[in-house]
Each structure stands twice: as structure tokens, then as C-alpha cells.
Structure 1
Amino acid sequence: MTPHQRWTLRTEHTGYTVRLSPDGPWAELHAWGPHGVENGPPALDWSHRTHFVTPADAAPAEYVPHGLRPFAGADLVAARPGAERGVWWSFEDVREEPGTLRLTFTDAVLGLRTTLCYATVPGTDVLHRWTELTCTGEEELRLERLDSAAVNIPVTAAARLTYLSGQWSQEFQHTRLDLARGTFAIGSTQGVPGHAYAPWLAVQDASAPHDAPAPAYGIALEWPGNWHITAQAEPGGAVRVRAGRVPHEGAVHLAPGDTLTTPRLACAFSPDGLDGLSRVWHRYERRLAGERLHRPRKVLYNSWEATGFDVDADSQLELAKAAADLGAELFVVDDGWFTGRADDAGGLGDWHPDPAAFPHGFDRFADDVRALGLDLGLWIEPEAVSPGSRLYAEHPEWVYRIEGRPARRVRNQLLLDLGRPDVQDFVLATLDRLLTAHAVDYLKWDMNRPPTERGRPGAGPADRLDLDAEHVHGYLRVLDHLRTAHPHVTVEGCAGGGGRIEHATLARTDVVWPSDNTAPLDRLRVQYGFLHAHAPHVMSSWVTDAPGVFDPRPRSLAFRFVTAMCGVLGIGADLRAWTPEQRAEAAGWITRYKEVRDVVHLGDARLLGSPEDATCGVQYDAPDGRRTVVAAFSTGPLDGAPLVPGRPARLRLRGLDPTAAYRDAATATTYSGAHLLHYGLPCAWSAGHDADLVVLTRR
């Protein structure tokens, strides 16, 4: 194999070219971008002068271990227990098939085979990367770092990093940072991706011209456990991004003959900036949904904000009747439906309907809900257990704990060790019983606390366990079972809001809950960030009466509906308190949503401005181009009209045919595509009109 040999993997519009380095036993990135970008010298070529660094430290390496890359950050740190760390491998083999590439390197002294794996995702501009690590010696190996991959991106001065940050009730905040030199890192050790950061990053050249969108490179880690993403702006004029799982116990032990496969890292590119990159991710997530994508996401009503823990059949049916009258298609009973659940201090783990709440039986209640024309859903928190529950009394060994230490309660609950097969079997049996005995159509899976005292007494030395990965595999096993055993059930993923949203979860659920914050302007910012990384058809959003948490400015019921209609529409308000006028308005919005949800969920989405602008919106174009739906919002002060001279705000649309005509039937107005692209869609905001949904039909 010659050191200059290279391979190109092609996605729908892009190419990713890897070569063997002429300077050492590793693979390097030759080119990544639009088709044909590989035809020329490598953009990340370096001067070959390596004062105080090694060639591997300076190279745009795809994956290099500590040993070969001692200074600039290695992707793999391995050793025999008690021995010095380091891998010094040599190239062994390449296997190339259409859409896939496998490059194998071996260290015969250490006893480690490392295979770098690449696979394109058909019909998208996404490339998967992961690594397979096999212990080939007679002694086990200790893996202290086991990243999935590294990606290299050329920049001329600084790298513009875009990431999604926040906290509980303020997830997915769109955040930017220019990194000229140094290291940037995000991640989580909470056993889930967490509320603080999403496992997603976009990189652009900060010096790109301002009159055109800078090409955007993106990565997203498919792992619902502990993780990290680290970006290093290196002296040679590039940024190198590493990503992977983080073992909770500090290291993973690999036994002779065993192979460890890292989580997949999805890599994406768009020449059309962050907005174009978002559409690449949306298309990828529609592919993850498979055939389930074409099942309409039904308009949901959830009873939590109306009743809290005070659940009884009569009040739930009253709400269900009101929801059905508005046009809702699904009624979800949230927390409080099971025995022992008068508040958040009890009941978790004892998943049986409370006979006091449903005196005629839960099945009678379910029949009454269905008689209203509604499907039935339940909230459940399968990983949690209350200390006073029957389950905990029977199986105290099933919770995470450290022998001789107090068990910390978060939200008055403990966490089940879902890495144990017996716990998995209990959860599977519980879900099977609920979904068959009561014919439940919708399941909201919640998780309201991270693991704290993460131990498993009696299972051997703690540093030899891999509890984070075992919990992840148990979680995914249960979700996979739901898909196969109960394919008719719609599954919603939730973790105290948006604490566990990444591609492994999205591939196994139908919708996810981005945040517990449903206040209008707060929610708009959450959804703006969310839609950069994730698709509208997975974004569950409710209309509620919640006041603002971070932005308390009031907004209309229309604003709340249009915001929620940007994804999968739900309602969580106490409908009993709404006036007849509010109910009539709500019914009208629900009817409009049903007319356009196929465009919202299946079309191309474009983010028009941001919530920082006085007017912003989201544009959805149907796959056939015949309809364009625009959700428009007023987030700033009014311009004084009509008391003083003023004119409507304008929201410039994108991606339309400038020669075509577009008709707004609601206002009997026809626009040329050129007009909407150049001047924009007029929005005449007033104190009582702060949002609109415009449907344009191409003539």
C-alpha cells in the first residue's frame, strides 16, 4: 500500500477524501466539501516543519493514539494495566466497498487492532464515522480515552463555533464563539446528554465574507450517555474536533479477544451556511424515522398543567371532552395516574392505575376517552423508583448506590440501574403489560434525575465496570423492544425537558420534548436553536398559559399556537379556564395546522432571522414546491403604526422560484417569487396581532 493512496466517499452532494499520510502510519483528511473538492492539493497540508511537535501532532489526522501524537491531543489512550500508556501502530489493511471504508492499524506489541470505519448515509449529505478496538494480545487493555473520530476543518484565521447551550428550562440556546487559538470543550457526565449542552457542533471560517453564508461543517454524536466534544484551534491554521463517549468510571477494560465499538459520529457539510446545514440534519433525521415518518403526528392534549398530581377519571374526562371539541386527536394522562402518587415523593416503580382515581376501572376510562374520538397516552418514568414504593422494598439492590454511603434523592426519587438485565426485564414486562392490557397508543418516557451515586455493589471492582455504557445499552434495548413489540405505539422521549436528545434516541422514538419551558418567547428561542440541529417532525411543542421565565413579555394565544405549530402541535393548558372565544380561536388554529402539518414535517425548513430580530420566522417548503408555509413572529417593539407613519415589517423568504407566482388565499394576495425574495412577506404587526401563519400556493 503506497503512503499516498487515498479514498473518496461520496454523499448526495459532497465528498470526503481520506489518504494515508506520507509522514507516518496514520490516515489524514485530504478534502471535505462539494463534489470535486478532492481534485487538487490537500487544503490542510502543512509545512512539514515540526519544531517542538511531532509530525502526527501537526497533521490533519483522522484518528491518532497517544504515543504517536503525544502533545496536541490524542483520540485513543490505551495501555496494559500498570504499564505505560501509548500505542505505536502500523497500517495493516484497507477494505473499501460502495459507500463504506475500513482502515485497520495494529500494534502487535500492545496487542491492539484499531479499525477506522466510514459509511455514507444514502439520500443525505451525512457520513458516519466510528472506531472498532480489538484486544489481540493475551493481556487485557485499559482504554482511558476512546473517541469515535476526529474531523479537521480548514480556517484562515479563526474557527467560528456554533453550539447549543443552556440549562433546564432554557435548553438549545444558539451560541457562537470565535476560536483563534486554544481548546474549546463541551460535554456531560450526567448519564445523559444533559441540559447544558447538546452533542452537536457546527464549524465555519470566521473570516468568511459577510455577503454570503460561510460553508458549514457539522458533527453530532449518537450517544445518550456521558460524552464530550473538544475543538482545538491548532497553530497550522486548522481546527481539529474530537468527539466520543466518556466512561463514568474513568476507563474501560478490554479483555483478550473482545471488540469495543465506539458510538457513531455523524458528519455533515453544507455550502449554504448554518441554515443549509440544518436542512442536512433534518433530512437525515427523516431518514432515521423510516416508514414511521409518514404516520401523522397527532394533535395532542396533555393534562399535566391542568391537574398536576390530582388525577381522577372525572376531571380527566372533562378535559378530554374539551380537547376533543377543539379537534385534538390524542389525550395523554401525565404524572399521577398510578398508585401512591399523590405528590412527587411516592409511587414510582409501582406502575398500576390507581383504583381510587379510576373507581370504575382504568379500562372503562380508556373506553370513555376513545368514545370521544381520541387516542390514549400515558406518562411513565421507567428508570425511576420512589424509596417508599413496593418495588424498592422488594428490590433495593436494583438502584444505583455505593455501599456504606447515603443514597442521594433527587426529586425525591432514586434511579434504577438499567444496565442490569433483571432491571431491563422488569421494565420490559411493565411496558408490555401497560401497552397491551390497556391498549395505550402513546407513551411519554420521562427521566427526571441524573445518576449520582453510580455504583453496583457486589458486581466486582468498581473501576472495572462500565456502568454508563451498560445503562445506555439497556435503555436502547427497551426502546428497540417497543419498536418491534408495539409498533403502533407512538413514543415520546423526554428527560426533564431536553436532557436526552441525540440520534440514538431519535432513531427509536417518534417525537421528543425539547424543554419543560412553554412560555412563548422563551420557547421560541428554544425552538430556534433546536431546529438548527433537529427536524420539525420530532419537535413536540405545547400551547399553554405559562408566563415567561426568562422573557416575561406577554404574547397572544395566536403567538403560542403558531410557535407550537412549528413542530408537532400539542396543548397543555387548563381548557376549563379558557373562554368560549379562546376555545373557538384554538379550534381554528388546530384546523389550520392539520391542513399544513405535512408541509411542516416533510418539507424543507428555513430559519428566517432569529428571535433577536424584531420580526423572525420559519419557512417550510413542500417537497413538490407547490406550497410554502411561513410561521411569522413579532418579537420586538411596534413601529408606531397606525398612529404615526409606518409600514409593515418584511420577512424575506428564501429558496422560491423568482419567476413563479405565489397566492395567499387568506388575503387574496398574489406575490411574485422575486417580490418575496427581494422585499419579503409583509407583516402588519399590532398589539393584538403578533404572529401569523401564512400559506402560499404556487400558481
Structure 2
Amino acid sequence: MTPHPAWSVRTDHTVYAVRLEPGGRWAETAAWGPLGAESGPSPYDWSCRTHFITPADAAPAEYLPYGLRPFGGPDLTVRRPDGERGLWWTFTGAVQDDERSLRLEFTDEPTGLRTVLAYEAVPGTDVVLRWTEVENTGSEPLHLERLDSAAVNVPVTAGARLTHLAGQWSQEFTRTQLDLVRGRFTMESTQGVPGHAYAPWLAVQDTALADGPDTPTYGVALEWPGNWHITADAEPGGTVRIRAGRVPHEGAVLLRPGSRLTTPRLACAFSPGGLDGLSQVWHRYERRLAGERLHRTRKVLYNSWEATGFGVDAASQLELADLAAGLGVELFVVDDGWFTGRTDEKGGLGDWDPDPAAFPDGFDAFVDGVRGLGMDFGLWVEPEAVSPASRLYAEHPEWVYRIDGRPATLVREQLLLDLGREDVQDFVTGTLDRLLTRHRVDYLKWDMNRPPTERGRPGAGPAGKQDLDAAHVAGYLRVLDHLRAEHPHVTVEGCSGGGGRIEHATLARTDVVWPSDNTAPLDRLAVQYGYLHAHAPHTMSSWVTDAPGVFDPRPRSLAFRFVLAAAGVLGIGADIRRWTPAQRAEAARWVARYKEVRTVVHHGRARLIGSPADPTCGVQYDEADGPRTVVAAWSTGRLDGAPLVPGRASRLRLRGLDPAARYRDEHGTLYSGAHLLHSGLPLAWTAAHDAELVVLTRQ
């Protein structure tokens, strides 16, 4: 008996194995897990005996069109000019030069649609990238109504434990879990960005094994800063099938004869070490995305927004800069309000020239004043936005998204530029080039504070021939790529009303991102706890402010806020003019402390210990090639001097240490690794002491 064709894609520690269905009509998952998991009977094996569904609907298929998979949910739906949507392809070839990549080709003769399923293992990580390429080799136009990037299959017994990151503006990245026994779970965004409600990230575990530190855990993350969806189906036969891809704004994408389309990449990750192990896979992957820029020092910044709002002028900014420099700040960023016409939310966007009234001695003299204090200089920009009262809108009203004969919706008193237009892209790149060459700017905070509403482009043909979401994404990425190429010294921070646009395409082109506008201590702890499940600490910008809690208003100390911000990339956003001398002195000590350990925080192995729901939680960072372990720890319970048992310290059980080694803290206390693993690191919380940054050095 001739075996069916099969292929394996290998990462450093995992394997993704694929085989061809006996009839050659589709590819299906054979194994996904640790190296060696492909040896032996496949956990995805199915009997081929089905009732009321087709074999393709029951199979652990890698990717199937409507026609072959009519009931379980197709990954590709193609509409022909006569309205028929079926597609019945056959396997036409495979290319595998090594075990790091694979390409499988399928062709539908009547339509001429050629589909390639692509796989690529990312060196130095346990991530396999998957995407799909479709080409219309026929003679008639085709409309792609569904064009997912990939589907992955996870074997389960009693159901799937799904972990996802949900929320809303100011409450992003809330770690949320549900058990899916049967049925469908979907999350998506049609806001032109990933959005605040869900992150394009999902982790899957077998409910029978969930919550253990050694639980096999699977994850996917979609690389796409536009409309998207991730759907999980608990299917008959004991698998959960995850589909992910972009969502066309117009409902379908036109694929003309001779045209080709490539879907966004879906990153697929596996770890045998539970959610904590999976997070470390994602952290390694994002460090690789950063490339050489990973080793650029992410400087301590001060942002003036919460101190001055729109009331920007040289005198007040320089006053803040002088105080910030005294705290050890390395970068001073002027937020919204520095440009002409920007006295409130209603004006100025699009006219990106420094306001001469705010800088009477000239903007360059102001910048030199900041730099003379020993700090770099940065600016906030919102390149995709335009104010109706701006000069830009008066000159180019056609540049905004609009539908003829329909009213325009203002969100935050602004409209959105159609960044899919090449002339708009040229305007944005030209504007940023001018700012970055005329003035000594080292840092840009790129914000986006509204979704597209009346998303149309009059004069560009019927909606069925447009793909505005993909065009905007391409324009956005083109501008970011331009910044990288033409201004490599400039650090770029990504922001969209907080954490509304954070995914791998953005993270590959920015240096840090802003997870949330909420900087209140306990609220922010929950945001950062969820964020670090999916993203690396070196990407996480975090500020110390005086903001009260929105969802959890319990007060916390300045130390709590500093340790929290030090868990990523430290910034300060409070009105430091109002701080007492004692607070400023304490802040200077924390800034100095952070500088001593930031390389460990940004490049070390991060482990989440406990959660914000526990009385004590923390993050452990192990130095990659050094002896240090840094532990950021917080008291999240009541601050009455008696955390759990009166007189007894709380303890964080650390992980991954050598039990036979000895570790010394900065006070000289010596611990065995076994003690820290078994009994835990003692933390004596009081009302005046609710956070610690502990540095342990292996002896």
C-alpha cells in the first residue's frame, strides 16, 4: 500500500506535520507538538465514516474552500460572476527544500484559481508562520468573500480551554477564559484596526489538562493591523479548529484574471509549558521581529500630556523638562497641542507645523533647550487624522473617507484620512520627513484616535472593485517602513487610543507600543498582566502617573506605580511640578534602579507569577546570559498591615531557578534555589510598602 504524501515543518523544539487526504483533495494536520510527536498514530485520525456531514467537514483540514467543506465553515469562499460559490480543487504539487518551509498547491480547473498553502518555521523560535496565496489564472473575475490566512487543529478530549485578551478602551488586554465543549466562538474587529475589544491572539488547551504548569498549549496570533477575525469551532471527533484571517470591509475582494493575493501571516506557536511557556515563545518571536533594534536602549521618558494637556508653551514645557532631567529622565516627549491651531480637540490635525505663539523664540530654540538638559526630544503625531477646520482639509477634502451624499461622522472632533491613497501616503511621509529633518527629533509617538465610519472613496469605482481596508493597511505599513529606512535613529511608539492597534505587523516596525490610556495602578496591573501573555516586555511602554483608579480605585504608593512601569519600558507622565521634593527624590531613586536592571527586563526570560486576582503577584525576569534574576512584585490585596496571616510575609514561589544554586539579594540575604522554588520569596507588605523590585544574583 502506497503511503499518502506527508511533510513536516520543524522549529527548534516543535514539529508541525501535514499529510494529504487519500483522494488528494486537501491537506490535513497529522501532528503538532514537541519534536517526535509525528511518530506514531496521529491524534487527529478519523474513521472517514460520517453522518449528515461530508468527510471534509469532519477532517482536521489545513485549509478548505466552500464546496469541499459546505457545513463546518470554509476558509475560502469564492463567488463567480454567475453567483455560484462552489470550489472543488485538487492537489497539484508540493515544494519543500528543507524542514523549515513548505508550499502545497491546489487548483480548481473551472475557475482557474490556484491556491498555495505556505508554511515557514521562524529560526530561533517555536513559531510556524502560515499564510495563503491565491492566483486567478482563469478568464473571469472572482470575488473572494472569505479569505482566511489558515486553519489550525488542536486535539482535545473533553473540550477546549480558550484564553483570549478582551476589554474596551482603558481596559484592554484583560485575560479572559472560557471552556468550549461544542459550538463556535468568534472574536473580530471591523474598526480598521485590531481594536480595544479583542486582541488578535488566542491560546488553546485541553480542558482536561488545563491550568497545570506542564499543560500542552497552542496559540495563534494574526499579523494584520486592519479588520480581522479569529473563530474557534469545537468539532465532532475531538478537535477544536481555529480559523483566522482578515475581514474585507466591502464584504468581498475582487481578484481579476492574472491577479494574485497573499493573506496576512498567522503565527502558530506551541509550548508544553502552559500559558507561561507559550508567553515565552511569543516573547522570543517578538525579539526576533525587532531585529538589531532590539538592542537599542529604550530610554526613560517623560511625556507632558497629563501635566499640560493642550496648553503647550515653551516656558511650561521647559519647566517640566528641567524637573524631568533632575529625575534621571533620558527623553522628553511633547504630546498633543504643540502644532498650529491645536488649542483643543477641534483644530490643527493635518497642519503639522509648530505653533509660533507657543514657541516665541522658535521651535528649534525650544528643542535645543530640552536637549541642553541632557535629554533626547520627542513629539506626538496623529498622521491619519485631520480636523475639519484645518488648512489641509480645506485644500484636500477628497482625501478623507466619505460617501457622496451622506453626512460625515466626527469622532473626537476629527475625520480620518484615506491612507490607502498614494497621494495621502506621500503627504504623510513628506510631513514626517520635514519634521524629522528640520528639527532634532529622536522619538515619535504615532497615535490614531478614531475608527473609519463612512469608509468610501468616491470616484474609485464601485465598492465591489475596492479593498479599502487592505489599502489602508498597506499605506500605514509603507509609511512605517519609510520611517525605518529614512530615519533609523528615530524611536517609534505605536498607539491607537491606547492599545487599539497592537499586532505583529506593527510590532515589527515600531520600537514600543502603548497598551492602554489607563495608567491607574491596579487597573494598569491587569492590563499589563494580560499584555505580557502575548507580547514581550521590551515592547510595553508604561508610565508613572497620579491617575486614580477607574475600575479599581484603591490607592497605591508611588513605589507601586514605579515598579509597575519598570515591568516594561519606564516612562513618567505625572505633573511632576506638583510632586513634593521627597516624591521627586524617591522617583530619582526608582529611575536609577530601573536603569540598572532594564536589560534584564527587556531581554530576559519573563515569567508571570500569580495574577492581579491574587493578594500578591509578580513578574520574574531571568537574565539571558548572566547571573541576575529580577522580580517585580506587588501587593494587590488590602493594605492594612496584615496581608494573609498577621505577622507572616506573603511569598512568591519563583520558577525556573537552579535548586542547587544560591542566590543573594541586594540586602545580603542568601537563599537556596530550592527555597525560592518551594517556599518562595518573602514579601512583607504593609500600608506603606506595597511593591518591591528585588534583584537576586546567583552566587
* Secondary structure at 2:523 match in 1: helix
CA distance in 1, matches of 2:219, 2:274: 10
In the other structure, the counterpart of 2:601 is 600
In the other structure, the counterpart of 2:268 is 267
- Give the 3 Å change call, closer, same or farther, for CA 102–645 of structure 1 in structure 2: closer
CA distance in 1, matches of 2:660, 2:526: 34
CA distance in 1, matches of 2:450, 2:646: 54
The one-letter code matched in structure 1 to 2:33 is: G
Contact 1:23 1:55 in 2 (8 A): no
Range with greater deviation from structure 2 (622-631 or 216-225): 622-631
* Secondary structure at 2:96 match in 1: strand
In the other structure, the counterpart of 2:425 is 424
1:116-155 deviation per Cα after TM superposition (whole angstroms, max 9, x unaligned): 0000000000000000000010111110000000000000
CA distance in 2, matches of 1:580, 1:595: 23
The one-letter code matched in structure 2 to 1:646 is: G
* Secondary structure at 2:188 match in 1: strand
CA distance in 1, matches of 2:198, 2:445: 22
Whether 1:681 aligns to 2:681 is yes
Cα displacement (A) at 1:215: 1.0
* Secondary structure at 1:296 match in 2: coil
- Give the 3 Å change call, closer, same or farther, for CA 154–318 of structure 1 in structure 2: same
- Give the 3 Å change call, closer, same or farther, for CA 280–304 of structure 1 in structure 2: same
* Secondary structure at 2:307 match in 1: helix
- Give the 3 Å change call, closer, same or farther, for CA 694–110 of structure 1 in structure 2: same
CA distance in 2, matches of 1:2, 1:173: 50
Contact 1:384 1:447 in 2 (8 A): yes
- Give the 3 Å change call, closer, same or farther, for CA 517–236 of structure 1 in structure 2: same
In the other structure, the counterpart of 1:117 is 118
Contact 1:79 1:110 in 2 (8 A): no
Cα displacement (A) at 1:462: 1.7
The one-letter code matched in structure 2 to 1:690 is: D
Identity %: 77
Cα displacement (A) at 1:646: 2.4
Whether 1:548 aligns to 2:549 is yes
Counting only pairs closer than 5 Å after superposition, residues 44-83 of structure 1 correspond to structure 2 as: 44-83=44-83
CA distance in 2, matches of 1:211, 1:384: 46
- Give the 3 Å change call, closer, same or farther, for CA 189–210 of structure 1 in structure 2: closer
Cα displacement (A) at 1:644: 8.3
Whether 1:256 aligns to 2:257 is yes
CA distance in 2, matches of 1:609, 1:639: 21
In the other structure, the counterpart of 1:287 is 288
Cα displacement (A) at 1:41: 1.1
The one-letter code matched in structure 2 to 1:395 is: H
* Secondary structure at 1:102 match in 2: strand
Cα displacement (A) at 1:469: 0.2
* Secondary structure at 2:62 match in 1: coil
Cα displacement (A) at 1:641: 4.3
In the other structure, the counterpart of 1:584 is 585
Contact 1:537 1:567 in 2 (8 A): yes
Cα displacement (A) at 1:213: 3.4
In the other structure, the counterpart of 1:443 is 444
CA distance in 2, matches of 1:182, 1:638: 44
Whether 1:11 aligns to 2:27 is no
In the other structure, the counterpart of 1:388 is 389
Cα displacement (A) at 1:247: 0.2
1:338-380 deviation per Cα after TM superposition (whole angstroms, max 9, x unaligned): 0000000000000000000000100000111110001000000
In the other structure, the counterpart of 2:159 is 158
The one-letter code matched in structure 2 to 1:425 is: D
1:201-240 deviation per Cα after TM superposition (whole angstroms, max 9, x unaligned): 0000001176543211000000000000000000111100
Structure 2: gaps of 5 or more residues? none
In the other structure, the counterpart of 1:353 is 354
CA distance in 2, matches of 1:37, 1:395: 59
Structure 1: gaps of 5 or more residues? none
* Secondary structure at 2:577 match in 1: helix
- Give the 3 Å change call, closer, same or farther, for CA 301–87 of structure 1 in structure 2: same
Contact 1:187 1:227 in 2 (8 A): yes
- Give the 3 Å change call, closer, same or farther, for CA 566–689 of structure 1 in structure 2: same
Cα displacement (A) at 1:640: 5.0
Q: Structure 1 segments of 4 or more deviating over 2 A?
A: 209-213, 637-646
In the other structure, the counterpart of 1:532 is 533
Cα displacement (A) at 1:158: 0.8
CA distance in 2, matches of 1:642, 1:649: 7
Contact 1:3 1:20 in 2 (8 A): no
In the other structure, the counterpart of 1:399 is 400
1:562-583 deviation per Cα after TM superposition (whole angstroms, max 9, x unaligned): 0000000000000100000000
CA distance in 2, matches of 1:549, 1:171: 13
Whether 1:94 aligns to 2:94 is yes
CA distance in 2, matches of 1:509, 1:637: 38
* Secondary structure at 2:429 match in 1: helix
- Give the 3 Å change call, closer, same or farther, for CA 689–248 of structure 1 in structure 2: same
CA distance in 2, matches of 1:274, 1:284: 15
- Give the 3 Å change call, closer, same or farther, for CA 645–516 of structure 1 in structure 2: closer
Contact 2:24 2:91 in 1 (8 A): no
Contact 1:148 1:265 in 2 (8 A): yes
CA distance in 2, matches of 1:35, 1:674: 30
CA distance in 2, matches of 1:252, 1:686: 60
CA distance in 2, matches of 1:211, 1:518: 31
In the other structure, the counterpart of 1:105 is 106
Cα displacement (A) at 1:23: 4.8
- TM-score scaled by length of structure 1: 0.99
Cα displacement (A) at 1:47: 2.0
Contact 2:299 2:330 in 1 (8 A): yes
Whether 1:372 aligns to 2:368 is no
CA distance in 1, matches of 2:158, 2:312: 59
- Give the 3 Å change call, closer, same or farther, for CA 261–209 of structure 1 in structure 2: closer
Cα displacement (A) at 1:461: 0.6
In the other structure, the counterpart of 2:30 is 30
The one-letter code matched in structure 1 to 2:670 is: T
Counting only pairs closer than 5 Å after superposition, residues 454-465 of structure 1 correspond to structure 2 as: 454-465=455-466
Contact 1:339 1:355 in 2 (8 A): yes
Whether 1:178 aligns to 2:192 is no
- Give the 3 Å change call, closer, same or farther, for CA 250–512 of structure 1 in structure 2: same
Aligned-residue Cα RMSD (Å) equals: 1.3
Counting matched residue pairs gives 698
The one-letter code matched in structure 1 to 2:597 is: V
- TM-score scaled by length of structure 2: 0.99
- Give the 3 Å change call, closer, same or farther, for CA 135–3 of structure 1 in structure 2: farther
The one-letter code matched in structure 1 to 2:42 is: P
CA distance in 2, matches of 1:584, 1:209: 46
- Give the 3 Å change call, closer, same or farther, for CA 659–88 of structure 1 in structure 2: same
Contact 1:163 1:201 in 2 (8 A): yes
Whether 1:411 aligns to 2:428 is no
CA distance in 2, matches of 1:507, 1:82: 42
In the other structure, the counterpart of 1:40 is 40
CA distance in 1, matches of 2:585, 2:520: 21
Counting only pairs closer than 5 Å after superposition, residues 142-291 of structure 1 correspond to structure 2 as: 142-208=143-209, 212-291=213-292
Cα displacement (A) at 1:417: 0.2
Cα displacement (A) at 1:26: 0.3
CA distance in 1, matches of 2:215, 2:299: 37
Contact 2:605 2:621 in 1 (8 A): yes
CA distance in 1, matches of 2:213, 2:441: 50
- Give the 3 Å change call, closer, same or farther, for CA 430–105 of structure 1 in structure 2: same
Cα displacement (A) at 1:79: 2.3
Contact 1:24 1:56 in 2 (8 A): no
Contact 1:3 1:21 in 2 (8 A): no
In the other structure, the counterpart of 2:659 is 658
* Secondary structure at 1:577 match in 2: coil
1:88-110 deviation per Cα after TM superposition (whole angstroms, max 9, x unaligned): 00110100022110000000111
* Secondary structure at 2:674 match in 1: helix
